[in-house]
């Protein structure tokens, strides 16, 4: 289990670095060219890796249903959109919004797929994600805002 946790953390590090690199590339080449370069280099890397470890086959598509390959389209669109927004929003804000979108989508997919879990708990989770996005947009840190609003002798102000 620890190995899986460490691999997931390493994956997060790789995603952040990749986003920053692709964002920089998009400033000079454009978002879709950056995405194309990303996928060509990724294709070459994975082809070489599979050839070295012996998992490369002449027919990589196998017998999966056609819908299983839509992840490639969505992934390419993600890289292109991310390459566009990251240099304009900054790495932290873009990452927060992307992760929030992933979490919101995860709640919706889980709800639609197996309808398990409490709807009120899932609604609370969605509310907390949206609150987190709002708080990240504040110009002042929340603690500064609370301190200024609650100073002794002052009336509550916003």
Q: Mean pLDDT per segment of 10 residues, for the chain of length 158 residues?
A: 88 87 89 91 91 76 81 89 88 83 84 77 83 72 60 56
CA 25 to chain CA mean position, Å:
18
**Model pLDDT, residue 145:** 57
pLDDT at 138: 62
Sorted by where each begins, the domain ranges of the chain are 1-88, 90-157
CA distance 17 to 143: 30
- What ranges in 30-137 are assigned the alpha helix state H? 31-53, 70-89, 91-114, 119-137
Reference 100, options 74, 70, 137; nearest CA is 137
Confirm if 107 and 122 have CB atoms less than 8 A apart. Answer: yes
- SS3 for 18? helix
- CA nearest neighbour of 19 among 106, 80, 110: 80
Q: Would you say 32 and 80 are in contact if contact means Cβ atoms under 8 Å apart? A: yes
Question: Torsion angle, CA of 7/12/16/21, rounded to 10 degrees?
Answer: 30
Give the pLDDT of residue 36: 92
Among all chains, which residue has been given the structure tokens 């609150």? Answer: 131
| Angle between helices 91-114 and 119-137 in degrees, nearest 10 | 170
- pLDDT score recorded for residue 10: 92
Q: Which residues have C-beta within 8 Å of that of residue 61, sequence separation ≥ 6?
A: 69
The token duo for 153 is: 């002798």
User: What is the reported pLDDT for 97?
Assistant: 85
Q: Give pLDDT, residue 139.
A: 62
| Amino acid 3: pLDDT | 92
């Amino acid at each position: 289990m620890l190995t899986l946790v460490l691999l997931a953390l390493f994956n997060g590090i790789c995603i952040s670095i990749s986003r920053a690199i692709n964002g920089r590339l998009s400033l000079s080449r454009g978002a879709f060219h950056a995405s194309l370069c990303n996928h060509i280099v990724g294709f070459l890397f994975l082809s070489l890796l599979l050839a070295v470890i012996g998992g490369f086959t002449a027919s990589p598509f196998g017998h999966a249903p056609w819908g299983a390959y839509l992840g490639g389209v969505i992934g390419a669109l993600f890289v292109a959109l991310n390459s566009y927004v990251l240099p304009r929003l900054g790495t932290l804000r873009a990452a927060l919004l992307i992760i929030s979108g992933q979490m919101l989508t995860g709640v919706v997919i889980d709800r639609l797929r197996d309808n398990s879990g409490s709807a009120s708990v899932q609604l609370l989770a969605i509310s907390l994600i949206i609150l987190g996005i709002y708080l990240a947009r504040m110009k002042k840190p929340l603690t500064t805002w609370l301190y200024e609003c609650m100073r002794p002798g002052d009336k509550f102000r916003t």
